[in-house]
Structure 1
Amino acid sequence: MNAQVIVVGAGPVGQSAALLLARWGIQVLVLDARAKRDSTGSKSICQQRDVLDIWAAAGAGKIADEGLAWTTARTYYRDRELFSWQFEREGPLPACVNISQTRTEQILDEAVAAQPLIEVRWNHEVTGLTQDGSGVTVQCGQRLLRAPYVLVCAGARAQRVRQALGVTFDGETFDDQFLICDIKADLPGWENERRFYFDPVWNPGRQVLIHPCPGGTFRIDWQIAPDFIPTKVDISRKVRQIIGDRPYELLWHSTYRFHSRLASRMRVGRVLLAGDCAHLVAPFGARGLNSGVPDAENAAWKLAFALNGWAGPGLLESYHAERHAAALENLEITAATMRFLVPRTVEERMRRRAALEGGLMAEVDSGRFAEPYWYVDSPLTTPEPTRPFGGRPPKGAPCGPAPGVILPDMRLPGGRLRELCRDGFLLLLGEMCDSRLFVQVLGKVTTAPLAVRGLAEIDGLAERLGAGPDEAWLIRPDSHIAAIIPHAGPESVTDAFRRALGEEEETA
């Protein structure tokens, strides 16, 4: 295969990247150091709405179909329930589903196998990377492979690759361990609820998290002491403390520690880093895979534009600017959660106790659930003072449209709104705008794919967005709003389009 992009790592981020690149017509070679897929354990289970949307575009919509869409999150302190909350319904896809990473990878493998532009090679451990002005040479033992670009999705242990690129991976590892178990049991009333317990009598001083999964299975996470080595007897006792005398089957268990780390660069020349090899966060809030898959999407469309000659000189560098900022936000949010879960100072312990004993929902932090990162400050985004970003909405609530924010989804006859965005840029025009004029002018700017639609053509869209009759909305291929332009004219829209293509001098 004459690959245009080599993807290193066949986990769900690498699989997603390969599928998204192939969707753009790019030939992809996927390399993995393992001999085969290791299909055991639930691992990453919570998949957020916008990630389900990406997978649907990649041909893996079965993930949303098969996942369990839980509705209610309950939080307990010792023996009493503090509060509960529910996701607000927004768009045709569920807010999140629970599904084991094993099944997710199986579905993605099926989609990869059906894609002739993707080749997967196991037993290919990357031992070196070198690059020049025209491409990247990947060394796998004695074998040398070459492609114009490389996307590394090789997980947290990709130290050799990071070192070859001169990338550091600074951060910390938390002392406390977590025991995770997958069990199969009949737990009436728990099938659609996530339960988080602070300091229960059966795990004093620590936390327990319980998630429902498809097929009558449940995932349980216990925070345990740093030096505790759980035996089968310990595991059975812990499970019984939660479910009582009901029969159950232990399907899988493991222990792990949380890490908080960030790569110094996510783009080095022709090599991009994505997923756990670029950032590690504590799993509360499900911000690991739910950040890695958007990395893959961001990288895929920008690499496709570069390979097809549609990109400006700053487009690839914007990958680092956008996704590094997203990783920093996730680190900040999960670090705050960990300070609440495992307080290290007297002040932190007092704040936690006051919040829990007072049942203060706004102060109790069990992990803010994953959200898309909004590229408000991206070099590709055109700011609009009349449409300022309003900041993070309340937990579980949608965000109002603004430049940089992801476009809200909605049902359309025969599909969804975001499906219109996946083949290139989308320009939505108010009824006072002359679409023929915009098509003529923008066609002279670039050959990049661009669809032009009238806001009035899509029933209810202008009202949903709050769009005016003289406005133009430029939407990126990843559904993020690149610009909202009042009193839109060809010149202002052209400027926004050039900016969104990265037609700025690159800085690295």
Structure 2
Amino acid sequence: MTATAPVLVLGAGPVGQTTALLLARWGLPVVVLDGRDERDLIGSKAICQQRDVLDVWDAVGVGAEVARRGVTWTTARTFHRDAELFSFQFADRGRSPFPPFVNISQCETERLLDERIAAEPLVEDRWGHRVTGIAQDDSGVWVTCANGATVRGSYAVACAGPRSDALRSALGLTFEGETFDDHFLICDIRTDLPGWETERRFYFDPEWNPGRQVLIHSCPDSTFRIDWQVPPDFDLAAEEASGGLDRRIRQVIGDRPYDIVWKSVYRFHSRVVDRMRVGRVLVAGDAAHLVSPFGARGLNSGVLDAENAAWKVAFVLRGWAAESLLDSYHDERHAAALENIAVTGATMRFLVPGSEEEARRRLDVLERAATDPRARAEVDSGRLAEPFWYVDSPLTTPDERRPFPGRPARGDVPVPAPGVLVPDCPVTVPGRPDVVRLRQLAREGVTVLVGDEADPPELPDLGDLPVSVHRMGDLDPSGLLGEALGARPDEVWVLRPDAHVAAVLTRSADVAPAVARLLASPQKDPRAPHRSQARGGTLHEGLAVV
């Protein structure tokens, strides 16, 4: 199968849509397969889009519009009963054009992505194509659908959502984790709540939901999402019939008119696959990992899966990197998934104590937090989404001068260093009026930033690999870029195509090895099985596996 065969994207949710558009941006044909007959516009679903995800969407032409149509919020407030414990805002080490978070219905985000796909000739949507079988060999991937179609591709990105059990089974993946017993009631209501439009509010043990929690988010069109933690035996139909749902809503919003836009009851899961690469298939989004929504880490993490997968598949198919580069997709995004599970798991243990001892400890922390700043650090109402830092990635060249200090404080971002997403800054590229930000420049390929006192690097012949070399002072004479990076004049910075820092160097001679490391993971143990030879399986009996 040639490099011109399409990449298959399994699932047309926002992660699949993003994957398809990013692959097309690299010049690759894409076929998107979805089992539904058409887009289902039910409920607002995932609403919180993080700044760096908006930036990814901006690379495919929709980020600014998502931000414009959404509701911007900048402050996260946490209460115990009726007392505010603390609030915080979000750091930006550079000068991003995007707010920290935008709330917008997933349905609206999907609609904007669909419009962009419709205008992209390299992407073909095929609805009504429920995948029933998948197989692969060294030449490509074969997908069989319930309607009898067989679709061939060069690689596949599987992002068909949480109900991908059959697909995961066919790929030989486990999906270990847990399901939380407590249920949560969610209502989107349209009403007027002055002063709440730019805030996320989290209440522990309010008098109108004693012993449990409530989370409130603002959304466009005067809509607010309210999440109540409810008992495992909660019956929504009975709650409505008795008038309990109306009383529950009025305890939050008071005596004002409202309309219910959407309502649902659900449980949370915390699970991750054991591998996110199976040969020519990469697994992304909810098909690969599930976490509780406290922290908005589901869709936001899935979009970052999409970007990581897209540039690596593109670099392999364009001949710019060895196929071993795809191993780093698992290395990096599985580590990100485990980090999200650790963070959200700690949140759920605080929200839903598993024993009387844990419940007593939580109550003690909450009561002390009213006056003790040290106790406030122990209050966990959901650490909000952030990009993962690839400091331990095989693609990253470490810098002993910049040791990673670990997870940053709530609302903060890591100091720029190898593995960290670079802060965004205005830049000026001669002859390029279309590039006005550092991340726009970085996402065009491999970017080398040279300090004003550093020697320009000598790179080997890299063919048509998109590599650009720039003096920092030429990009930004004001010095803001160097200040945001914390760069020294004698340094050379190497940026990845997803705008993460690959290396910070003081010798120009080290740039070529850092670029080589960025393009392909170090060789694995030769005694280990080669992951690219793995085979898929069937989703139903009777389908032969190639």
In the superposition, the TM-score normalised over structure 1's length comes to 0.96
The secondary structure found in structure 2 opposite 1:428 is strand
Q: Is the 8 A contact 2:7 2:30 kept in 1?
A: yes
Equivalent position of 2:535 in the other structure: none
Measure how far apart 1:313 and its partner are: 4.0
Instruction: For 1:211-360, list aligned pairs within 5 A.
Output: 211-231=217-237, 232=240, 233-359=243-369, 360=375
Q: Secondary structure at the match of 2:236?
A: coil
Look up the match of 1:130.
Answer: 135
Residue 204 (structure 1) aligned with residue 215 (structure 2):
no
CA–CA distance in structure 2, aligned partners of residues 322 and 170 of structure 1: 19
What's 1:423 paired with?
Answer: 444
Tell me by how many angstroms 1:464 deviates: 2.1
Which runs of at least 4 in structure 1 moved beyond 3 Å after TM superposition? none
More off after superposition, 85-94 vs 417-426: 85-94
Which residue is 1:68 aligned to? 71
Structure 1 residues without counterparts, runs of 5 or longer: none
Return the alpha-carbon distance in structure 2 between the equivalents of residues 387 and 314 of structure 1: 27
Q: CA deviation at 1:412?
A: 3.3
C-alpha separation in 2, matches of 1:51 and 1:7: 19
Is contact 1:210-1:219 (8 Å) kept?
Answer: yes
Letter in structure 1 aligned against 2:270? S
Match of 2:490 in 1: 470
Aligned partner letter, 1:99 = I
Q: Equivalent residues in 2 for 1:50-89 (5 A)?
A: 50-61=52-63, 62-89=65-92
Q: Is the 8 A contact 2:328 2:521 kept in 1?
A: no
Instruction: Kindly indicate whether the alpha-carbon contact (under 8 Å) linking 2:182 and 2:232 is maintained by their aligned counterparts in 1.
Output: yes
* Distance in 1 of aligned mates of 2:326 and 2:142: 19
The percentage of counterpart residues that share the same residue type is 60
For residues 386 and 89 of structure 1, do their structure 2 counterparts lie closer, same or farther at Cα, with a shift above 3 Å needed? closer
Distance 1:474 1:282 in 2: 35
Is residue 179–residue 253 contact of structure 1 (8 Å, CA) maintained in 2? yes
The answer for the alignment partner of 2:542 in structure 1 is none
Cα deviation code 1:74-126 (max 9, x no counterpart): 11111222222222344221111111101111111111111110000110000
State the one-letter code of the partner of 2:422: L
Secondary structure of 1:388's counterpart equals coil
- 1:505 aligns with 523
Name the structure, 1 or 2, with higher relative contact order (CA <8 Å, separation 6+). 2
| C-alpha displacement of 1:347 | 3.1
- Output the CA distance in 1 between the equivalents of 2:135 and 2:500: 33
Q: Distance between the aligned counterparts of 1:22 and 1:162, measured in 2? A: 26
Contact 2:389/2:421 (8 A) holds in 1: yes
Give the superposition deviation at 1:191: 1.1
Equivalent residue for 1:450? Answer: 467
SS at match of 2:9: strand
Q: Which residue of 1 aligns with 2:113?
A: 108
1:388-447, Cα deviation, whole Å (9 max, x unpaired): 112222111121011000100123356221111111010001123343xx3xx4242454
Asked whether the equivalents of residues 141 and 280 of structure 2 are also in contact (C-alpha less than 8 Å), the reply is: yes
Please identify, of 415-424 and 446-455, the stretch whose mean Cα deviation from structure 2 is larger.
446-455
Q: Partners in 2 of 1:55 and 1:240 — Cα distance?
A: 37
Deviations 1:41-72 (A, max 9, x none): 11101111110100000111211222211122
Q: How far apart, in 2, do the equivalents of 1:137 and 1:36 lie?
A: 23
Using structure 2 for the length normalisation, give the TM-score: 0.90
List alignment gaps of at least 5 residues for structure 2: 370-374, 525-529, 532-546
Does the 8 Å contact 2:103/2:220 carry over to 1? Answer: yes
- The separation in 1 between residues aligned to 2:59 and 2:460, in whole angstroms, is 26
Q: Is 1:408 aligned to residue 419 of structure 2?
A: no
Matched, 1:161 2:167: yes
What secondary structure, in the 3-state scheme, does the structure 2 residue paired with 1:241 have? helix
- Aligned partner (choices 47, 50, 68) of residue 45 of structure 1: 47
* Paired residues of 2:460 and 2:512 also in contact (CA < 8 A): no
Q: CA deviation at 1:450?
A: 0.5
| Partner SS for 1:467 | coil
Cα shift at 1:268? 0.3
Q: CA deviation at 1:224?
A: 0.6
Residue 495 of structure 1 is matched in structure 2 by 513
Task: Name the structure 1 match of 2:539.
Answer: none
CA distance in 2, matches of 1:234, 1:505: 61
Find out whether 1:370 has 2:370 as its counterpart: no
Tell me the C-alpha RMSD between the 2 structures.
1.3
The 1-side partners of 2:229 and 2:56 are apart by: 32
State whether residues 10 and 30 of structure 1, in contact with CA within 8 Å, keep that contact through their aligned partners in structure 2: yes
1:380 aligns with 2:395: yes
Opposite residue 489 of structure 1, the aligned amino acid is: S
* Higher alpha-carbon deviation: 282-291 or 496-505: 496-505
- Residue 21 in 1 paired to residue 23 in 2? yes
* Range 254-263 or range 404-413, more displaced: 404-413
Amino acid at match of 2:79: Y
How many residues matched?
501
CA change 1:308–1:350 in 2 (3 A) is: same
**For the Cα contact (< 8 Å) 2:186–2:225, is it kept in 1?**
yes
